[in-house]
């Protein structure tokens, strides 16, 4: 079966095109940015708080189609001044790094709110959730936020048989 990351890409793919503006809200080593660039999009904004991770991904993927910032995604509205077609959040920690440096409930909720307002009508956003220790609270807070939104559709994709494993929230903005 496909991974949640693969499924997130499948969901996002139909809204990507040559002029598409995309956001990789948790850059890490850049797998979601790799995906966006493979679809020949116009621009990818990326956010990452860990300097070493940021520098090495910027070194690998920095080009005229990428716009990477070494700041938290909770500041994305200070850096993105245009509507966007697609956004991916891959919450949690950098797998081969310090697991204490992880996304946090309050900044994640703030970032998702900003992402929703940057998203175009018919734009799509995929949230890959990791409900491990601190991720449980984060996932709950994000779901509560999404339930209060009137201009989106949301689907949840999860493994029925395994507890606390990654799951997906798929969002499309409507009028």
Residues forming contacts to ligand SAM in the complex (CB under 6 A) are 26, 28-32, 47-50, 53, 72-74, 90, 92-94, 101-103, 107
| Nearest to ligand SAM of 19, 65 (CB atom) | 65
| Nearest to ligand SAM of 123, 135 (CB atom) | 135
* Residue 148 tokens, joined: 């209060």
CB of 171 to ligand SAM, least distance (A): 17
* Residue 52 tokens, joined: 């070493």
CB of 68 to ligand SAM, least distance (A): 11
Which residue, chain included where needed, has tokens 């601190």?
134
Q: Is 50 exposed, middle or buried (0-12, 13-18, 19+ CB in 10 A)?
A: middle
CB of 46 to ligand SAM, least distance (A): 9
CA distance 18 to 85: 11
């Amino acid at each position: 079966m496909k991974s949640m990351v693969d499924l997130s890409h499948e969901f996002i793919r139909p809204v990507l095109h040559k002029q598409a503006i995309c956001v990789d809200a948790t850059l890490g080593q850049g797998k979601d940015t790799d995906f966006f660039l493979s679809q020949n999009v116009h621009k990818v904004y990326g956010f990452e708080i860990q300097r070493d991770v940021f520098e090495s991904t910027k070194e690998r993927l920095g080009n005229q189609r990428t716009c990477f910032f070494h700041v938290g995604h909770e500041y994305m509205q200070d850096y993105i001044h245009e509507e966007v077609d697609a956004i991916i959040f891959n919450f949690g920690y950098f797998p081969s790094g310090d697991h204490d440096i992880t996304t946090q409930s309050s900044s994640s909720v703030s970032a998702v709110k900003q992402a929703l307002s940057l998203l175009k009508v018919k734009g799509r956003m995929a949230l890959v959730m990791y409900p491990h220790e601190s991720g449980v609270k984060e996932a709950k807070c994000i779901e509560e936020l999404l339930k209060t939104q009137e201009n989106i559709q949301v689907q949840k994709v999860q493994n029925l048989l395994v507890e606390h494993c990654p799951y997906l929230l798929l969002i499309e903005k409507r009028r």
